[in-house]
């Protein structure tokens, strides 16, 4: 059997009978662009659809409810791809049968699978790319080129850092507000609160000293009464008078030995002052701590910003190194871009060029492309397609409306016009 694994294939001959509008056509195309021309309703799309139906099967047959020309019993499309021959036949009430054989007549056992493997993914509707959403366009582009990174994973990473930075930013704002609620820093305040216990002990000692004075005073008074009592009783007890006098003298002596009295009214005031100063010291310590937290949070936020910039740079550098099928093609978070501008804002010709180049970039074995709405394309766009086809060794089938009969293969009443 012929080797079908290496050489690029294209259609060297297309024969179709009774397929849709076609009576019978036999086309042996040359060159990279095959223009199927003619007036409206003559069978141009029928030619291109015959190509599609023969090669793609499934989707094409579902889209074509009546493949056999009205009044006929069967239709057939036969494609010569050089090394292999593809034949699809329809008879009434069947979805078509496919035969793929080598040039020497040997049949392949899984013909549709063979064709599917040889066909490019957007071979029959390359402009479908233009109609995709920006997000799907990016997915198509990413699946076509070789990216050194996973854009979704990179975006997840970027978002993670961004969210972390937002969180730390909230801490910064909170700490700044908290810091503002403290009185300003006072360099004259001591670092630590003063102890009240020493002052309290001093006050206790003073009170105790005064109490013993009080006790001495009352003792002296008591003894004075005793003298008075003893004098009253002098006449009865001269002896006890002497004793009382002696005791009185002792008491007076003890009184003289006592220190001076202390004024205790100031202690309360001093204590109050101490508490106020300690409150300020406490606040000052808290303030120092919050200022520390704030500068740490600010530092963290700055680190996150640097990380974000690094991710963006990494992405930009990786993208710059990727080889896109069209110069200037790239993508960002919003979609595919051409020379930095969203593809949706590029001109129709630019979008066409990108779509066709992308469809060709897959580099399938069977290099066939179908463009149905060729009449929408001006000569510049047609020129672009011809250049791309030559560059990628592609065979592009284009349908154009034309009444001159001087463009490409003219189809008239279901046949090739002579």
Ligand X SMILES: Nc1ncnc2c1ncn2[C@@H]1O[C@H](COP(=O)(O)OP(=O)(O)OP(=O)(O)O)[C@@H](O)[C@H]1O
Which residues of the shown chain bind Mg ion in the complex (CB under 5 A)?
44-45
Q: Which of 9, 25, 35, 43 binds ligand X (CB under 6 A)?
A: 43
Minimum Å distance from CB 400 to Mg ion? 10
The CB-nearest residue to Mg ion is 45
Q: What value, to the nearest 5°, has the Cα angle with vertex 48 and ends 404 and 9?
A: 115
Minimum Å distance from CB 43 to ligand X? 4
Tokens coding 211 = 């109490």
Minimum Å distance from CB 8 to Mg ion? 28
Question: Residue 197 binds which one of ligand X, Mg ion, none, with CB within 5 to 8 A depending on kind?
Answer: none
Q: Does 370 bind ligand X (CB under 6 A)?
A: no
Contact region with ligand X (CB under 6 A), list: 62-70, 138-146, 152-160, 321-329 = 62-70
Helix axes 348-361, 134-144, angle to 10 degrees: 40
Q: Which of 12, 13, 45, 112 binds ligand X (CB under 6 A)?
A: 45
Pinpoint the alpha helices (H) of 123-150: 128-131, 134-144
Site for ligand X in 386-415 (CB under 6 A): 401
Q: Does 3 bind ligand X (CB under 6 A)?
A: no
Closest CA to 60 of 82, 75, 71: 75
CA 294 to chain centre: 28
CA 402 to chain centre: 50
Q: Which of 5, 30, 66, 197 binds ligand X (CB under 6 A)?
A: 66
CB 82, CB 9: distance < 8 Å: yes
Q: Does 364 bind ligand X (CB under 6 A)?
A: no
Question: 65 vs 197, which CB is nearer to ligand X?
Answer: 65
Positive or negative, the CA dihedral 153, 155, 160, 161 is positive
CB 74, CB 89: distance < 8 Å: yes
Q: Does 21 bind ligand X (CB under 6 A)?
A: yes
Question: 43 vs 120, which CB is nearer to Mg ion?
Answer: 43
- Alpha-carbon gap, residue 278 to 192, rounded angstroms: 8
Q: Which of 4, 32, 35, 46 binds ligand X (CB under 6 A)?
A: 46
Contact region with ligand X (CB under 6 A), list: 42-50, 82-90, 265-273, 278-286 = 42-50
**Residues in the chain, total:** 418
Question: 4 vs 46, which CB is nearer to ligand X?
Answer: 46
Q: Which residue has the tokens 């609160």?
A: 193
Contact region with ligand X (CB under 6 A), list: 34-42, 128-136, 178-186, 270-278 = 34-42
Minimum Å distance from CB 81 to Mg ion? 24
Helix, coil or strand: residue 381: helix
* DSSP assignment letter at 233: T
* DSSP assignment letter at 40: T
Residues that bind ligand X (CB under 6 A): 20-21, 38, 40-46, 66, 68-70, 401
């Amino acid at each position: 059997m012929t080797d079908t694994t290496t050489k690029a294939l294209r259609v060297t001959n297309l024969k179709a009978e009774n397929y849709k509008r076609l009576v019978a056509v036999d086309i042996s195309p040359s060159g990279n662009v095959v223009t199927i021309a003619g007036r409206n309703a003559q069978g141009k799309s029928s030619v291109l659809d015959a190509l599609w139906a023969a090669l793609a099967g499934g989707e094409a047959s579902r889209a074509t409810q009546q493949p056999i020309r009205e009044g006929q019993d069967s239709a057939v499309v036969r494609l010569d791809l050089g090394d292999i021959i593809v034949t699809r036949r329809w008879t009434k009430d069947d979805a078509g049968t496919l035969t793929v054989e080598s040039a020497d007549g040997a049949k392949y056992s899984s013909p549709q699978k063979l064709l599917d493997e040889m066909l490019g993914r957007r071979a029959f509707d390359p402009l479908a790319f233009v109609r995709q959403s920006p997000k799907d366009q990016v997915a198509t582009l990413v699946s076509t080129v070789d990216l050194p990174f996973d854009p979704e994973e990179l975006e997840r990473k970027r978002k993670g850092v961004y969210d972390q930075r937002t969180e730390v930013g909230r801490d910064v704002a909170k700490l700044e507000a908290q810091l503002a609620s403290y009185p300003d820093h006072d360099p004259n305040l001591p670092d630590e609160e003063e102890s009240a216990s020493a002052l309290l002990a001093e006050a206790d000692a003073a009170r105790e000293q005064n109490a013993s004075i009080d006790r001495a005073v009352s003792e002296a008074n008591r003894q004075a009464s005793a003298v008075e009592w003893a004098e009253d009783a002098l006449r009865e007890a001269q002896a006890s008078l002497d004793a009382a006098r002696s005791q009185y003298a002792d008491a007076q002596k003890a009184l003289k030995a006592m220190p001076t009295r202390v004024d205790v009214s100031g202690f309360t005031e001093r204590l109050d002052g101490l508490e106020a100063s300690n409150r300020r010291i406490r606040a000052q310590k808290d303030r120092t701590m919050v200022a520390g937290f704030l500068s740490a949070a600010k530092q963290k936020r700055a680190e996150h910003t640097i990380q974000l910039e690094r991710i963006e740079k990494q992405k930009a550098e990786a993208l710059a190194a990727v080889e896109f099928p069209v110069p200037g093609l790239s993508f960002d978070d919003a979609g595919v871009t051409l020379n930095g501008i969203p593809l949706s804002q590029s001109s129709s010709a630019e979008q066409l060029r990108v779509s066709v180049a992308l469809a060709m970039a897959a580099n399938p074995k069977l290099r066939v492309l179908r463009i149905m709405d060729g009449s929408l394309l001006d000569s510049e766009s047609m020129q672009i397609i011809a250049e791309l086809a030559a560059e990628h060794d592609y065979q592009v089938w284009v349908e154009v409306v034309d009444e001159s009969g001087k463009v490409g293969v003219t189809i008239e009443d279901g046949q090739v016009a002579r």
